[in-house]
Structure 1
């Protein structure tokens, strides 16, 4: 479940996170932006990693992470240390979701160089090994090998980074798009000498759709992590209940 930290008080966000965990979600995501992505562009909004630290204390079972962290906003070594710290606070429940970044308003308002899609992907390519290297140097080290989730569907560069560094690939699009891009990812894995089966495939789904149709279509293409989203001010978790019931039927 992605709880979008926009247009809501933090108290509402905290309640939604607690309710989602109680309902039985596997992972709670937020996102890494400084402004709402839709609705009032200057509406209520909260910062990603501060919130993840709070969620690490406020939850006890679910894994937590950003879908996804913008690589541009933090030095890679700092991000590695932040992730390691939240990993410890949560007793090993952090997933590091990361991507190259795309929301120009964030960059402009907070003084980051927006660059080009190519330059942002080049920065991500440089950052990922630096994050991995810093984890190996930290004292104490992470409690586990922190799973790295990379979000994006660029076929030449992003999917190659997924093949090289990711434990989870978060894809965008319908089941047919995921299937086609998964074929490209498998070729990148072959090129770098990695078993594509080591990478979990993740995708967003529309909570209003029928899970027996939309969910089953994704699973048939190889997706095993399905993520719904909810936004403020009122976080409607009724669709989540239907999807969780369907999940539990499949896993029975």
Structure 2
């Protein structure tokens, strides 16, 4: 697994209980602070608080972020494969990749997963199925997405990084071994080595080299001792769930200082 790269901090702006101008301002401020990546999530209703509160859709927001931002990478943490045709997902990702390019490569990260929030499915008319059928659909979708990227004109500006979220050992981690550039999870430090061993064993069966896989994990409601242990286990991308409208930018700055200390960089 890739451990010789700098630590990066991604902030997941929760697209709930805020107005879009508040989200837009938060994007601008977080980029100015120096975060590396911005994420939203791909749902249609709030995941906490008032279940019928304010909420915004993921992909249209990502298109706006592609135009608004200049430096940060960005994406969904994570896209739901069930909600859109796989070839359409590939085309949307390629287009956002181009929108975000500033005379060079794009900055879009294609984070994806199989879906889990039943209300989304029920109210928007998607078949919920079972965890197994949704994972099977994700496996088929990822193959179609990669095939579509190979024939789109124009092609993506770079190999769009694929981030897969989840920790299931029989299906999800096999998909990580087969497709992912980034693996994201909420696995605790004491469970990380086992999960990485599972990925490596699947990678051997898939005939794929995963030595460049970036390990990602979550910081929300965790302290530096946990982050240190995740770092020692090989994690190099850290995400922070971040809700408004009363955004706590001091919290982000504290994690930026931690990131910079790990990278041997002074921060004022």
After TM superposition, the score normalised by the length of structure 2 is 0.91
- Determine the structure 2 residue equivalent to 1:142: 156
1:6-155 aligned at under 5 Å gives the runs 6-91=16-101, 92-155=106-169
Does the 8 A contact of 2:184 with 2:216 survive in 1?
yes
Q: CA deviation at 1:180?
A: 1.9
Deviations 1:224-251 (A, max 9, x none): 0001111122222221100101111111
Which structure 2 residue ranges, 5 or more long, are not aligned? 1-10
SS at match of 2:129: coil
Q: CA deviation at 1:181?
A: 1.1
- Determine the structure 2 residue equivalent to 1:230: 242
CA RMSD of aligned residues (A): 1.0
Q: 1:161 aligns with which of 175, 181, 190?
A: 175
Q: Cα gap change, 1:161/1:209 in structure 2, threshold over 3 Å: closer, same or farther?
A: closer
Which structure 1 residue ranges, 5 or more long, are not aligned? none
Q: 1:178 aligns with which of 185, 192, 204?
A: 192
More deviation, 93-102/227-236:
227-236
Deviations 1:145-169 (A, max 9, x none): 0000000111000000000001000
- Determine the structure 2 residue equivalent to 1:216: 228
Higher relative contact order (CA 8 A, sep 6+): 2
After TM superposition, the score normalised by the length of structure 1 is 0.97
Q: CA deviation at 1:102?
A: 0.2
Aligned equivalents of 2:187, 2:147: Cα separation in 1: 33
Q: CA deviation at 1:15?
A: 1.0
Aligned length: 250
Q: CA deviation at 1:187?
A: 1.0
Give the structure with the larger helix fraction. 1
Q: CA deviation at 1:193?
A: 1.8
Q: CA deviation at 1:119?
A: 0.4
Q: CA deviation at 1:179?
A: 2.4
